[in-house]
Amino acid sequence: MSGEKKGRKPNRYTAIIQRIFDDHYVPGDMEFEFARDEAEAIAAELEIELPKNIGDIFYSFRYRNELPEAITSTAEPDLEWIIEGAGRARYRFKQVKLSRIVPRDDLVTVKIPDATPEIIGTNALGDEQGLLAKVRYNRLIDVFLGIAAYSLQNHLRTTVKGLGQIEIDEIYVGVNSNGQQYVVPVQAKGGKDKHGVTQTEQDIRCCEQKFPDLICRAVSAQFMEDDRIAMFELTVEDSEIKVVREKHYKLVPSSEISSTDLDVYARME
DNA sequence: ATGTGCCGTGATTACAGTGT
DNA sequence: ACACTGTAATCACGGCACAT
């Protein structure tokens, strides 16, 4: 529109996070903390507009976007920078083992008769809400973990000691054939949201605090291409995220499940 | 009443495709 | 080569819910 372009356009989020990083990072550091309000001073200093939703700066780099190249390139080999909560409005840059949860590509897709109510499917909710709904209506937690699970609450928002405020997409409680009781925090990821240690660790910590008597099994569900749903059970071993189990499901009309499919399933595990 | 984290979505920008 | 249009990707905001 108007001739408002000079080369100066790394976006505001990037400019600010870069500056925060530069202000604190000394080569060799494995972690350091910073505070939310540092963004204000930096914006003034750099003469850029302060974004109105300051928290979104950090949120976006934690869960939605990649950190700028100038930051990622300083990480040690096989490590990557993440941002984790460090108390109210405080955050911590930290180098952790590189760990992106990516669905395996050598896993059979298990077809499940789709029990999503038609009316839900047609009113396609957002990516994440839709995924959560499908998981719920098709009892995929039960199927995946082999326990009887009940949805306790969704979008549980709470603060966890030492972490700050967090949100768990949905929480189930369940029981198995031996009477052992479980709490199952579920995170749902749509197409592009990142899937890191941070959130899994948060979920687990939260459950330890709020449900100390129950066994915690953190689950994550993610849309893959072709409408398939990848389910993971995750755990954290010294800041490193590990996949305990993984399955891929596809919800289909039961007429599309052939006897050869069933034959394959019969021979699994 | 104010601060914080989160998520959907409109606005903006970047890109690809088409016609002249 | 250029303007124009449609589409995809990215950015940033508004507004909600819960905490303090």
* Strand C bases within 7 angstroms of protein beta carbons: 10-15, 17-20
Distance from residue A2's CA to nucleotide C6's C1', rounded to whole Å: 22
Mark residues 206-235 of chain A whose C-beta is closer than 7 A to nucleic acid strand C. none
Phi, psi of A187 (to 5 degrees): -115, 140
A191 touches strand B (CB under 7 A): no
Measured from the CB, is A6 under 7 Å from any atom of strand C? no
User: In percent, how much of chain A has pLDDT > 70?
Assistant: 86
Exposed (0-12), middle (13-18) or buried (19+): which is A5, by Cβ within 10 Å? exposed
Closest nucleotide (CA of A50 to C1')? C12
pLDDT in the model for residue A253: 92
**What does the pLDDT look like over A85-128, one tens digit per residue?**
777 778 888 888 766 677 787 889 999 999 988 777 665 555 67
A58 touches strand B (CB under 7 A): yes
Strand C within 7 A of A56 CB:
yes
Q: How far is the CA of A16 from the C1' of C3 (A)?
A: 37
Residues 130-189 of A with CB under 7 A from strand B: 157, 164-167, 169
* Cα A138 → chain centroid: 21
What is the model's pLDDT at position A170? Answer: 84
Q: Say what the pLDDT of residue A139 is.
A: 93
Which two three-digit tokens encode residue A79?
């490590």
DSSP H helices, chain A, are 12-24, 38-46, 54-59, 69-72, 118-122, 127-137, 140-145, 197-210, 259-266
| Distance, CA of A32 to C1' of B1, in Å | 32
For chain A, give the mean pLDDT. Answer: 80
Q: How far is the CA of A262 from the C1' of B10 (A)?
A: 46
| Range scoring the smallest mean pLDDT among A146-155, A223-232, A249-258 | A223-232
Strand C within 7 A of A104 CB: no
Q: What is the pLDDT of residues A12-37, one digit of tens each?
A: 788 888 888 888 889 988 888 888 87
Estimate in Å the CA A191 to C1' B13 gap, whole number. Answer: 21
Q: How far apart are CA A14 and CA A71, in angstroms?
A: 10
Would the pLDDT of A261 be above 50?
Answer: yes
pLDDT of residue A106: 84
Q: Which helix (H) or strand (E) holds A184?
A: strand A181-189
**pTM to 2 decimal places:** 0.68
pLDDT: which is higher, A186 or A46: A186
> Which tens digit of pLDDT belongs to each residue from A34-51?
888 788 778 777 777 778
**How many angstroms separate the CA of A1 from the C1' of B16?**
20
pLDDT in tens, A157-171: 777 766 666 778 888
- How distant is C1' of C18 from CA of A158, in Å? 7
A205-213: long-range pairs with CB below 8 Å, 24+: A205/A160, A205/A162, A205/A163, A206/A156, A206/A158, A206/A160, A206/A166, A206/A168, A207/A171, A207/A183, A209/A160, A209/A161, A210/A158, A211/A173, A211/A183, A213/A181
State how far the Cα of A138 lies from the Cα of A134, in Å rounded to an integer.
Answer: 6
For strand B, the positions having any atom within 7 A of a protein Cβ are: 3-9, 13-14
Which residue is nearest to the C1' sugar atom of C14, using CA?
A: A53
More confident residue, A55 or A139: A139
A154 touches strand C (CB under 7 A): no
Three-class DSSP category at A183: strand
Q: Which of residues A190 and A108 earns the better pLDDT score?
A: A108
